[in-house]
Amino acid sequence: MRDAYIVSAVRTPGCRRNKGALAQTSPEKLIVQALNGAIGRAGIDKGEVDDLMLGCSFPEAEQGLNIGRIALQMAGFPDSVSGATVNRFCASGLEAVAQSATRVMAGWSEVCMAGGIESMSIVPMGGNMPRPLASWAKESPDVYISMGVTAENVANRYKISRELQDEFAYHSNMKAAEAQKKGYFTEIIPTVADKFVEKSDGTIVCETFVQNFDDGVRADTTIEGLKKLKTVFAALGSVTAGNSSQTTDGAAASVIMSGDAVKRLGVKPLAKLVCYTTAGCKSDEMGVGPAYAIPKLLKLTGKKVEDIGLWELNEAFASQAIYSAQQLGIGDKKYWAYDSPDKIININGGAIALGHPLGCTGSKLLATLVANMQRLGVRYGVESMCIGGGMGAAALIELCE
C-alpha cells in the first residue's frame, strides 16, 4: 500500500457548551472555517480534493443532512468534490481521518480531506430524540447507560482513587494553561464566531468576533478546589465535573495526500498515518477501550510502548485515562505531570482542560499531536480514545523529515 501523508491539520478553538464563545455559532460555519483553514495551510486548489470524510457523533438537526457534503459547498469547493459524514461516536473524527487515508493508501484517491464537527451547544449529547429499543434496553441496558456511570465503574473496578483523578485533572489544566501562555497551540485557526445581541429597541442582531483560544482552560484550578466538588454520577462515587472532560463546541480538518500528489503539487508533508485500528470492550466500562486498542495497534505495526515519543490519550474521564496509561506501563505521574521533564501524555493538556467535542475530537487531537511532534522533533506519536458503547480506537503517526 502507498503512504498517506498529512500535509495540514488545523482546528478551531474548543469552547464551552452553552457558556463558551462558539455556543451561538452554527456547526456549519465552524466546519467551513476549519476546511478553509486546512486547505489554506496546504496551499493547494480546492479542486484538487477528491473527497471529504467528516466525523460527527450526533449528525442531526443543524449537523444533519450529510453535513460532510453541505460543508464543502458552503466552503466554496467545486461540485466535483464529494463528501460523507462518519459516526463512530467519540472516535468519529479519527475514523474520518483513517477512512480518507485508506482511500489514498489504496490508490483510490490522490488528495482527500478529513475532519470532525460537534456543536454540543446546538445539538445536545444524545441527540434531540433518542429512542433506544425498549426490549433490548431491558435485556442489555449497558449500551445506553451514561458515560459518567461507566467512568465510575472503571474507578471502582480498577481502584482509581478520587485523589488520583483530581490530581490528574489539576495537571491537565496546568499543562493547558502553560501551553496557552507559551503559544504552543499553533494548530488553532482564528475563528469567526456569532453572538446574538438584543438591542435597546428590542431587535436582535447577529454580531461577530474572532475567537483564537480554547476558553475552557481553568488556569486557577487547585487540588483543594477539585476536592470540594460534588460527585455527579454516584452519590458515593469519585467522578466530578472537575475530573471529567468538558462538553465543548469545535471543528477540525486535515488534508491527506499520496506521495505522487505531494511531489506534483510541491507540498511539504508534515507526517503520515502509519496505521489505525479499533477494539471492543465491555459497554459498561467503555473508558478502558484504549487499553485494548493501543496494544493491538502496536502489534500491527511492530512497535513497542517505548518507541512512542508522544501520546494524545483522550481524557473523557480521568479514571479511564489513568487506567489506560497504567495498562500501557506509562501510568507513573512523571509521564503526565505538567512540571515533569519526562511528560509524554497530553503534554498540552487534555479534554479535562480543553474539552471533548465528541465527533470533532479525533481530528482535533490529530492536529495537536502533529503540531507537538513537529515542535519537539518526535518521530512517533499515538492518538487514542475510548468510545461510547464499549470500544477504543488508536492511530500511529510518523513525523516526516
Query: Would you list the DSSP string of 214-278?
Result: -TT--TT--HHHHHHSPBSS-TT---BSTTBPPPEEEEEEEEEE-HHHHHHHT----EEEEEEEE
SS3 354: helix
DSSP 8-state class, residue 82:
E
Measured distance CA(168)–CA(93) in Å, rounded? 25
SS3 114: strand
Closest-CA residue to 384 (of 306, 300, 279, 285): 279
Do residues 167 and 223 make contact, with C-beta atoms less than 8 angstroms apart? Answer: yes
β-sheet bridge partners, residue 231: 240
Cell of 37: 483553514
Non-local (6+) Cβ contacts of 179 within 8 A are 185, 347, 348, 349
Residue with cell 479511564: 320
β-sheet bridge partners, residue 256: 6, 112
Q: What is each CA distance from 192 to 66, 197, 342, in whole angstroms?
A: 23, 16, 37
Cell of 99: 477512512
Q: What is each CA distance from 195 to 24, 192, 207, 208, in whole angstroms?
A: 6, 10, 5, 6
Measured distance CA(252)–CA(362) in Å, rounded? 9
Measured distance CA(52)–CA(342) in Å, rounded? 37
Residue 177 corresponds to which amino acid?
A
**Residues carrying an active site annotation:** 90, 356, 386
Measured distance CA(138)–CA(151) in Å, rounded? 21
Instruction: Tell me the CA end-to-end span of the chain in Å, nearest whole number.
Output: 20
Closest-CA residue to 312 (of 88, 153, 91, 17): 91
